[in-house]
Structure 1
């Protein structure tokens, strides 16, 4: 089986931003394992950005709670602490519905066309995609597109950070949680509600999705 594709990379970024996104997504998907040291030189060579952008990215990632730096020891991927689940969910149950409703209200025509295509691509995943990590990447992609369509960069920034932390928890239990495809396919109704401009339905479905995520994780603890 060929390797699953990486998360989409934004275009038109500076070298520091490219390094940040590249390392961030490796941390989110646990390609860099919790507790693993991060080597500046190796990352710079892998990403083709140079050491300075990598170091700038690592400083930003420390603020995202994805890495931790220790004097004279280096920088390491943070541990995935399941006790953080309640704190993350507390934020997401309030802000995910807000972002979904804003997206339904504020998305541009171009946004709606893009989200309509994403909805069609997300439908019937169970019959087309068997790689669980690819399914999870698609889940992350949908969330990020909804946050972007909401049109509030501050809200987007908060939710991307919280979704990143939630995804790391999901990755930790990925082989134990059933029906991953069904969880991702829930986004079809959400995306369609946003495209249709139905704020209440979009908010309700976003809330149900977040609550379902926490329930699924707790069921395997």
Structure 2
């Protein structure tokens, strides 16, 4: 069987799109395996329902068998991979009926995370958020940079909460939402405008405006949920 790792351009390099933000040479093999597999699934380069075959993927991605298996188990816990006895591992299907349920959780937690980030952000993190705000304002119209910037904004805000439990929980739900976004990206109107909304969110967090950060984050989830409902 040929590898399922394919980008729209035909480039099979694992450093495009989502994985481009990782400095994988500084990570453990287990973490690199997890991030690489996760991002291939989120970007649909490992498509829903496709087998996650150990031998071709470890060779193609330069990942050892033990860290690969650890990554598969971790992604199973995050509902991105399903493991079936005697059949193997498969990327989970995208269940569109779950979208409203995912949005319901994110609507509660995204605002809380933005509020906590605005309360707890450090001076160093303010500089990082300001750099992200500049990226948002100069956002091009192509899918890869749009989704890369969106991912970086969300994950950075989660990290600025300084609450690992909240960061991990939101990260998992964000991953599930991203797959749905990728699936319908070409059919969604005003995608760039959706990501540009992050500029005001980042500004509110930088300024420590907790109420405004909360309000903007919840509205952002609502806009996304509404846009997806319009096309499914």
Same fold (TM over 0.5): yes
TM-score, structure 2 length as denominator? 0.90
Q: Counterpart of 1:186? A: 197
Q: Report SS of the residue matched to 2:46.
A: coil
TM-score, structure 1 length as denominator? 0.94
Number of equivalenced pairs: 218
* 1:51 equivalenced with 2:62 (yes/no): no
Aligned mate of 2:136, from 106, 122, 137: 122
Q: Distance in 2 between matches of 1:119 and 1:102?
A: 19
* 1:67 equivalenced with 2:78 (yes/no): no
Quote how far apart the aligned CAs of 1:10 are.
5.1
Q: Counterpart of 1:33? A: 47
Q: Spell out the pairing of 1:13-162 with structure 2 (5 A cutoff).
A: 13-125=27-139, 129-162=140-173
Gaps of 5+ in 2: 1-7
Preserved CA contact (<8 Å) 1:103 1:151:
yes
Gaps of 5+ in 1: none
Preserved CA contact (<8 Å) 1:124 1:185:
no
Summarize the Cα distance change of 1:50–1:158 in structure 2 as closer, same or farther, 3 Å threshold.
Answer: same
Quote how far apart the aligned CAs of 1:122 are.
0.7
Q: Counterpart of 1:219? A: 230
Q: Distance in 2 between matches of 1:218 and 1:63?
A: 27
Q: Distance in 2 between matches of 1:134 and 1:32?
A: 19
Preserved CA contact (<8 Å) 2:18 2:147:
no
Q: Counterpart of 1:9? A: 22
Q: Distance in 2 between matches of 1:6 and 1:169?
A: 15
